[in-house]
Structure 1
Amino acid sequence: MPGILRDYLVMTIGTLCIALALNIFLEPNNVIFGGVTGIAAMLKTLFGLPIGITSLALNIPLFLVGLKRLGGFVFGLRTIFATVMLSVFIDVTANRVGQFVQREPLLYIAYGALLSGIGTGLVLRVGGTTGGVDIVARLLQQWRGIRPGQSMLIASVVVFGAAGWIYGATPVLYALLLAFIETRVIDIVLEGFSDGRSALIVSNKPEAIRDAVLHDLDRGVTMLEGRGGYSGQERAVLMCVISQAEITILKKLIYNIDPRAFVVMTEAVEVLGEGFRPAKAE
């Protein structure tokens, strides 16, 4: 299948997932959701306006800003397509799908967040947006390097604050849980599960640690040149990437050789290459 057709198919599936999450799990249980769609839902509660058409109208000014800043013919087409498809799916499926009404809020929140997060992640993954907060998320990612899931969580919290006086405190608390789960799912869809850990090691015995990592752990090591900020002393800094399961083994290797070694361990959002996922163009 040609790449462009695949991308539009993915966006169609993604927007359908979001609409189903809204109409099956969230709206029937009066769950607040963030972004422009959440604002449209509040307007439905207050004035009876249809969510799909209202969200489409609210998206127009945000789309114009995104078209100017993010630019490009591709962005414009994909955003128009995804935004229109989402609005259509929301209104078309509103009275045509079953409703998952439960007394236990964790169930419908978890299901709704999972389905909506997968849908939003799929749309973002192929370079589209569903308008609204998605456009803001892409702008912040471009300008500040903020993960889309994080910026969408912030925007959702702002909407929840405005919705509190309509729905009360308890639904807002549930909505925060929904947003947290949903944004985590979005980041997983975009970046995958992170099993990689990056280690920076400063030691007086860099060669011995290097050999141990190469031969005992069977991982690659990069030797960097460093200088102490206080002492001015030059030191070798070792950098290696390992799996989460190898953290304890690496620590033992290091501290058996040099108990005074300085180690910084961080999560690697994505690791591509030998020993991890193969690098390939999506």
Structure 2
Amino acid sequence: MKSKTKSFALLTGSTLIMAVGIYFFKFANNFTFGGITGLAVLVAKSGVISASDFTFIANMILLVIGFIILGRKFAAKTAYCSILLSVCLSLLERVYPLTHPLTDQPVLELAFAIALPSLGSAVLFNIGSSSGGTDIIAMIMRKYTSADIGKALLITDFIITLAGCFVFDIETGLYSFLGLAVRSFMIDGFIESLNLSKYFNVVCNDPTPVCDFINDTLKRSATIVLAQGAFSGEDKYIIFTALNRIEAVKLRNFIKENDPEAFMLISNTSEIIGKGFHSI
């Protein structure tokens, strides 16, 4: 129950962050980068339908198509996030209608238009979900074709962004191209930061105090390997363990205080798969 509650909170919170970034900064400035919401900005220019309502309708249509084509294996998390995002955008439009950007600083607004949705997307991707939209198209393409889906979606995003240069003005279009270029790098950066852990190699004479601290205080485990010093020829022990950043600081300080002669190699890693970390 605790795990499900945490997952639900992450799904909801990250989707709400995306909604704020898209509505207040992306839609308000006519930035056209990024899938369905980028297309929504173009469609809204016609005056027939607002960007929020178009996003709602498009996502609902894609969800129905996804359920029909992909069946029961279609991700429930993606469906929930897609519906929540669409509803939030429509509600924001009615509760807090915007006729102009929040500020007169387009670069500042672009930063938030990139950062907030990227952070939300990174959290969703990290827990095996997405906000729907073009991700549903990607799932369908993956099922029936061998096409390079990443390139196909990138080309689609490029065309939508390019269209913004003609529908709006060249300045808005260039800002959108900048957003398109930065967004993918920022999502990757957020995901790596969210997953960042520390990998320890500790060379020492007596592994017992260190392992006791790891097991009893940090509630983690470790692997001990008997080794031999190349110069001294003396027996040594190497302790391998992986910890999150807070735990890593505690272990580092403990070893410094209790075994100052120990030799530590501490590496950053964002890919640890196993019990206590990420499941396969």
Change (3 A) 1:55 1:27: closer
Q: Mean Cα displacement is larger for which, 109-118 or 28-37? A: 28-37
- State the Cα RMSD in Å: 4.1
Describe how 1:74-93 pairs up with structure 2 within 5 A: 75=75, 77-93=76-92
Spell out, residue by residue over 1:121-153, the C-alpha distance to the aligned partner (whole angstroms, 9 max, x if none): 2223222222222234556789889897x8765
Spell out, residue by residue over 1:186-238, the C-alpha distance to the aligned partner (whole angstroms, 9 max, x if none): 22333437989xxxxxxxxxxxxxx79xxxxx999xxxxxxxxxxxxxxxxxx
Spell out, residue by residue over 1:37-59, the C-alpha distance to the aligned partner (whole angstroms, 9 max, x if none): 22222222212413333223223
User: Is 1:22 aligned to residue 22 of structure 2?
Assistant: yes
Letter in 2 for 1:63: L
Spell out, residue by residue over 1:82-124, the C-alpha distance to the aligned partner (whole angstroms, 9 max, x if none): 1111111112123545875333322111122111111122223
Q: Any gaps of 5 or more consecutive residues in structure 1?
A: 197-210, 213-217, 221-240, 245-267
Match of 1:94 in 2: 93
Deviation (angstroms), 1:67: 4.3
Change (3 A) 1:151 1:82: farther
Change (3 A) 1:54 1:13: same
Match of 1:132 in 2: 133
Contact 1:113 1:178 in 2 (8 A): yes
Letter in 2 for 1:161: L
Match of 2:121 in 1: 120
Contact 2:52 2:93 in 1 (8 A): no
Match of 1:3 in 2: 3
Match of 2:272 in 1: 272
Match of 1:189 in 2: 190
Match of 1:164 in 2: 165
| Percent identical residues | 21
Q: How many residues align?
A: 216
Match of 2:180 in 1: 179
Match of 1:13 in 2: 13
Contact 1:109 1:174 in 2 (8 A): yes
So what's the TM-score if we normalise by structure 1? Answer: 0.60
Q: Any gaps of 5 or more consecutive residues in structure 2?
A: 198-229, 232-237, 241-264
Match of 2:42 in 1: 42
Contact 1:153 1:179 in 2 (8 A): no
